[in-house]
Amino acid sequence: MIDKKTIPFGSHNATLICDNVLTTTELVEGSVDLIVTSPPYNVDIQYNSNQDDLNYSEYLEFSLKWMTRCYSWLKEDGRFCLNVPLDKNKGGQQSVGADITYLAKQIGFKYHSTVIWNEGNISRRTAWGSWLSASAPFVIAPVELILILYKKDWKKTSGSKESDITRQEFMDWTNGLWTFNGESKKRIGHPAPFPVELPMRCVKLFSYVGDTILDPFAGSGTTLIAASRQKRNAIGIEVDKTYFQLAHQRILNTPEIFQTIMPMLEEESSEANCEPTYS
Ligand SMILES: C[S@@+](CC[C@H](N)C(=O)[O-])C[C@H]1O[C@@H](n2cnc3c(N)ncnc32)[C@H](O)[C@@H]1O
């Protein structure tokens, strides 16, 4: 059953929808400025309710379907930051990043560039293949990709025109090699969270204050936290009820969001009651 929770922060809000990205009717076409997401990687992660071990052609078919929906939800100058693996070794080598980029272009997305996220995950260096032999060694890059795509026009014409990125952030993040650590599954309580740094950089670099940011695979709500903190409207879709509730709790428990918005709420409110309300 569809469940929906909206957390208002004065002039913007965060909305979580417990639904399937392939079938949801909760989103309006042409309404989203920026999508930041990390879909299931199809590497047999034990999510509560969805299968993460499709065969590769089924996985590409699933990717085609959900990306087609994202395309329709974006505004004409909308952007799409898609965090995917560079490649996949488990269950047979595949060029995931290249194949997903190709599919996105088939749908109509235009390619802008790719950020290489160096997540410093050395724990992957356990599968060597043929040790010290050229017979069948494994080569694995400890990086992921953030594909930067857009719908029709790269130049952004809609929105408030208010950017909140600093000079140093702009200089650092327009260098497409990003180095920061991954997030702890245990700390977050989700099997595949990304760190808030990832959506935060995308949000500040590619959207204006007040824009609408969507994560169609919201998981533990990391994108919604980053977007809310930066005073954007956030929408998240998550099929699993447990993660949906986890995301809701995480947003409510992130003090930085409320610290950022409190002065704004005080300015806006002519009455004494400045407390945010939750539904
Ligand atoms: C890689 S995780 C996203 C993690 C998120 N970036 C975070 O930081 O927590 C993918 C999420 O997509 C959800 N999911 C899988 N299939 C889905 C579908 N068809 N519709 C909506 N959500 C889905 C999974 O339950 C999982 O939480």
Low-confidence ranges of the chain (pLDDT < 50): 269-279
- How much of the chain exceeds pLDDT 90, in percent? 75
pLDDT value for 52:
67
Q: CB of 118 within 8 A of CB of 143?
A: yes
pLDDT value for 160:
98
Could you give the CA distance from residue 239 to residue 50 in angstroms, rounded to a whole number? Answer: 8
Spell out the domain ranges in the chain: 3-123+140-268
Q: What is the pLDDT of residues 71-89, one digit of tens each?
A: 999 999 999 999 999 998 8
* Ligand 1 site-directed mutation target among 63, 217, 244, most atoms within 8 Å of CB: 217
**Ligand 1, atom 8, residue with closest C-alpha:** 193
* Ligand 1 site-directed mutation target among 190, 203, 238, 242, most atoms within 8 Å of CB: 238
- Say which CATH class 3-123+140-268 falls into: alpha beta
Q: For residue 228, give every residue at least 6 positions away whose Cβ sits within 8 Å of its Cβ, in sequence order, or none.
A: 7, 9, 12, 14, 234, 251, 254, 257, 261
Whether 21 is in the pocket of ligand 1, judged by its Cβ within 6 Å, is yes
Could you give the CA distance from residue 155 to residue 261 in angstroms, rounded to a whole number? Answer: 29
pLDDT value for 264:
58
Could you give the CA distance from residue 24 to residue 134 in angstroms, rounded to a whole number? Answer: 49
Round to the nearest angstrom and report the end-to-end CA distance of the chain. Answer: 17
Whether 144 is in the pocket of ligand 1, judged by its Cβ within 6 Å, is no
CA 123 to chain centroid:
23
Measure 89 CA to ligand 1 centroid, in angstroms: 21
Could you give the CA distance from residue 182 to residue 142 in angstroms, rounded to a whole number? Answer: 11
Whether 32 is in the pocket of ligand 1, judged by its Cβ within 6 Å, is no
Could you give the CA distance from residue 73 to residue 199 in angstroms, rounded to a whole number? Answer: 19
Q: Which DSSP helix (H) or strand (E) runs through 106?
A: helix 96-107
Whether 52 is in the pocket of ligand 1, judged by its Cβ within 6 Å, is no
pLDDT value for 94:
94
Measure 59 CA to ligand 1 centroid, in angstroms: 14
Index of the ligand 1 atom closest to the CA of residue 215: 6
Query: Nearest CA to 18 among 235, 239, 248?
Result: 239
For residue 139, give Cα distances in angstroms to 58, 130, 135, 267.
25, 11, 13, 55
Whether 2 is in the pocket of ligand 1, judged by its Cβ within 6 Å, is no
**Ligand 1, atom 13, residue with closest C-alpha:** 217
Query: Partners of 6 in the beta sheet?
Result: 15
Measure 238 CA to ligand 1 centroid, in angstroms: 6
CA 166 to chain centroid:
22
Between CA 88 and CA 93, with CA 90 as vertex, the angle to 5 degrees is 50
Whether 193 is in the pocket of ligand 1, judged by its Cβ within 6 Å, is yes
Whether 20 is in the pocket of ligand 1, judged by its Cβ within 6 Å, is yes
Whether 127 is in the pocket of ligand 1, judged by its Cβ within 6 Å, is no
Whether 240 is in the pocket of ligand 1, judged by its Cβ within 6 Å, is yes
